[in-house]
Amino acid sequence: MIHLLFTGGTISMRQSAEAGGAVPALDGAALVRLAPGLASVGPVTVEDWGRFPAPHLGLDRLWALRNRLTEVAASGSVRGIVVTHGTDTLEETAYLLARTLDPAIPVVLTGAMRTSEEEEWDGRRNLVDSARVAGASESRGRGTMVVLHGTVLSGLEALKTDAGEVDTFRAPRGAPLGVVAGGSVRFTAGGRPAAPLPRWPGTLSARIAMVPAVVGDTGAMVDAARDGHDGLVVVGFGRGNLPPAMAGAAERWLAAGKPVVLATRCFKGEVLPIYAYEGGGARLLQAGAIAAGPRAPSQAWMELVVTHSAGLPFGAGMEA
């Protein structure tokens, strides 16, 4: 049995003249009717967990979703789970699930970049492909994956790279796990393996700020966020370099005993301790900041949320 859990997103939306744009409209049963190819995959169950645009899924809802997926996986009646999700924040949810779910039962996140009223609607293919991946025997043990436009990606690596194209999800810092073509799933040797935390948090309680560097940054935003947050992700230039005043503000977080993770705004590559001038990434790492490693800023932010909430160091249980 494949469990289809619907949370909303563009795949569920239709145009509303009254609202002036696309809004959630379709439930899971309606989407299943629009994807008759699901019948060739095998029996499915449908759960309407929610009908939310992706930006409406805050940490409380995401943790409730994670807990519901844990229940479904533990039921013993499913061989895989498909979750439909808005693409705007799908990468954060995929990363969260990859770090907090038992990888034995595959969980596949998917969505759409077009509404079902458009000729080039991609939701039908994505839904069927995702069910094929969730049900494949080779998927067992791979944990959370993302499937759109025929590409299978690790939940630890999938990123939305284009605001409007249907092939938007890529793994800029990794590699695809496989592809879905001709009704078959083919896995490769690429992609990062599942890496669940050594222990789960009780809830996502950590308040983590993320501040991108801008030219001439005075550090005012970094300083202003310190009292209301438990940790900070700084998005630097290049290898993690910052304007000197911003670096000084980040060091004040470290002096207060609050973790600081240093990420790069670059599409590929990682923060490295190369530049030791004032504001250089090497200086902040020497002061105690943590390099984001092979994570985009959004993933570094979720990693700090999850690990800090669990009382664990950043990157616990996996290569940082």
Q: Residues 30-48, buried b or exposed e (16+ Cβ, 10 A)?
A: ebbeebeebeebeebeeee
Which residue type, as a one-letter code, is found at position 284? L
Instruction: For residues 279 and 302, give the distance between their C-alpha atoms in angstroms, rounded to a whole number.
Output: 25
At CA 12, angle to CA 44 and CA 101, rounded to 5?
55
**DSSP E strand boundaries for 129-241:** 144-148, 151-154, 159-160, 169-170, 178-181, 184-187, 208-212, 231-236
Closest CA to 48 of 70, 20, 67, 25: 25
Instruction: For residues 142 and 228, give the distance between their C-alpha atoms in angstroms, rounded to a whole number.
Output: 37
By annotation, the residues acting in catalysis are: 10
